[in-house]
Structure 1
């Protein structure tokens, strides 16, 4: 049994036991109520991402027998989609749900805990988080900001984006206006792309009106719901986000002040909802990629030309080395991920890759 599967089994058993305790435990006559608020980057009713947050909050309430409740405020309410870290840090919200690479302008080291171009796939990255020292490194980075960060759900490998025009060569990237976050944006800017980051709720309008020429969002699990296939006919496979992990942010002082049993309940609820989002995202991508092929035959699924991918790899490595030379913490995390990926990739190659290669050819 793989470690990720074993950890999921343990997590499920823990959830069940905590639920059983909540059901059987007698009601306290004057149990204190902990009412927390969570700010999320996503809008009201946002599927998959928002559903993971709702599942987490419901689990906390049920497992704590109503002792702890978490109110969820979407970006529609707090009006600061990319301000979640600051609000949690300041204590305005006890919790947040977002993506770590959104904070690269504040701290470049946060990007590693979402995903990196040409990096680990989701099973490798989860193994790194929980058994390869990733959680400890993430804590070291976020301790500087006064918050705890936990894995918050994985989309698995993301698509390379929606494009109005076909990309046939490097020259087609020159002056292209594209929404793409994280380290991938740094890489593409070196290749002549005009990079921007736009909140999720504004993406369709920006592409439709020509404010941008291309965008990457997630993958079939969410992209079809956003309607991008109606205005951009070229859908490229991924290179930049092989294992996009969202995050739960928790104010350290607020968390440390919780009773121990509520700390545990909160951690279990976050971990379970993160794993559940990974499974949900994978399922919905499988369903929607089939739907895309049958219902929208005008959309062409493409891969970037080999010379474009090669240039991306070169610029990616240059940027990594330059950042590592300037920041010891960046180098520490980069070296750790590189070493772990090399170790994990050997197993990936002789297990999943070999199986798929033999059965897909």
Structure 2
């Protein structure tokens, strides 16, 4: 664990803590604050956070009320984890790979390049020991985590120029967080992490040359098609990223068993609902981008795809072996992926290929 990073982060939010209202627990009602890493009411992630708060209130019969704050309303997006860890707020909604500076293991609980799709991640987390490892990791920071959304497979990103060869990545300034950013660096690109509400301006003013975000639905909402001409697929970096809710563990431990069960069920329901929402809205939005906005849809060349795959496996292995705990997570993740991959191949993948008339082996 990178304890210095954690303590430094806690120090950053200490001043903020004094200005945040304290949780109100009166007449059996727990009133909590949720800080998020998303713009206010942003389609998908931001709305999902609001919807989850409503689910929890309904399922606890009003015993747990959560007020949702967008990024920068109370604290900056990337301070959400430290704010909840310290107790300055009680819940966060974000992506665990944002906290990789505390432990590389956090990446595996969002997504890793060339890794699990959403159904495979759910299998590991719910049935393959992933949640137990996540609990163990997060407890060291006074957090109790849950999956609460999934965007499904993400796109390769928006580029202001065509990417035809591996040479085109050299010197490219691209917004790509997590281990995907490490893959870009191995291609001699300059990868940076920016919160969602900072990306458009950075792309518009030339601070960055390219960005990944999510997929057609969210990307169109941000208007990336107005400042970048080329939209690439397939994504390699985020094949099925889970978005997380983290409760301050002291607060979580103060819930009754029925309240804990209701919150857990609400998170699982929202995780499933949001994946379906993204799949539907992405399909619609992609057609709009192509037909109404003349977006130039491009597929990465076979050469590029092969190199991205090889570098992804290299980066994930390096991260997975970076310390003893992360190695435990990596070995569990890898074993579950090996199991799921074969079933995915002869079930989902084979059916989709047959449906499209692709000749099978």
> Do these two structures clear the TM 0.5 threshold for a shared fold by scoring above it?
yes
Secondary structure at 1:206's aligned position in 2?
Answer: helix
Partner of 2:117: 121
Q: CA deviation at 1:128?
A: 1.0
Partner of 1:247: 244
- 1:256 matched to 2:253? The reply is yes
Matches within 5 A, 1:142-153: 142-153=138-149
> 174-183 or 137-146, which moves further after superposition?
137-146
- 1:176 matched to 2:184? The reply is no
CA distance in 2, matches of 1:318, 1:119: 12
> Gaps (5+ residues) in structure 2?
1-25
| Cα deviation digits, residues 145-183 of structure 1 (max 9, x gap) | 110111020000000100001111111000000000110
Secondary structure at 1:246's aligned position in 2?
Answer: strand
Alpha-carbon contact 1:44-1:76 (below 8 Å) kept: no
The runs of at least 4 aligned residues of structure 1 exceeding 4 Å deviation read none
> Gaps (5+ residues) in structure 1?
1-29
Of residues 61, 67, 75, the one that matches 2:57 is 61
Alpha-carbon contact 2:109-2:134 (below 8 Å) kept: yes
Q: CA deviation at 1:185?
A: 0.2
CA distance in 1, matches of 2:43, 2:315: 34
CA distance in 2, matches of 1:179, 1:267: 33
Alpha-carbon contact 2:155-2:214 (below 8 Å) kept: yes
- 1:37 matched to 2:33? The reply is yes
- 1:282 matched to 2:279? The reply is yes
CA distance in 2, matches of 1:100, 1:150: 10
Partner of 2:337: 341
Partner of 1:72: 68
Q: CA deviation at 1:309?
A: 2.2
Distance 1:48 1:319, change over 3 A: closer
CA distance in 1, matches of 2:343, 2:225: 36
CA distance in 2, matches of 1:191, 1:232: 21
Of residues 317, 324, 328, the one that matches 2:324 is 328
| Cα deviation digits, residues 222-243 of structure 1 (max 9, x gap) | 1111111111111111111100
Matches within 5 A, 1:124-143: 124-143=120-139
Partner of 1:193: 189
Partner of 1:156: 152
Secondary structure at 1:82's aligned position in 2?
Answer: helix
Matches within 5 A, 1:6-45: 31-45=27-41
Distance 1:230 1:89, change over 3 A: same
Matches within 5 A, 1:286-297: 286-297=283-294
CA distance in 2, matches of 1:317, 1:268: 34
Q: CA deviation at 1:41?
A: 0.7
Q: Aligned pairs, how many?
A: 331
CA distance in 2, matches of 1:74, 1:160: 26
Partner of 1:4: none
Partner of 1:211: 207
Partner of 1:96: 92
Secondary structure at 1:248's aligned position in 2?
Answer: strand
Q: CA deviation at 1:316?
A: 2.5
CA distance in 1, matches of 2:314, 2:219: 31
CA distance in 2, matches of 1:329, 1:304: 35
Distance 1:234 1:58, change over 3 A: same
Distance 1:335 1:245, change over 3 A: same
TM-score, length-scaled by structure 1: 0.88
Distance 1:330 1:230, change over 3 A: same
CA distance in 2, matches of 1:352, 1:31: 50
CA distance in 2, matches of 1:49, 1:325: 31
| Cα deviation digits, residues 173-217 of structure 1 (max 9, x gap) | 000000001101011101111011111111111101100000000
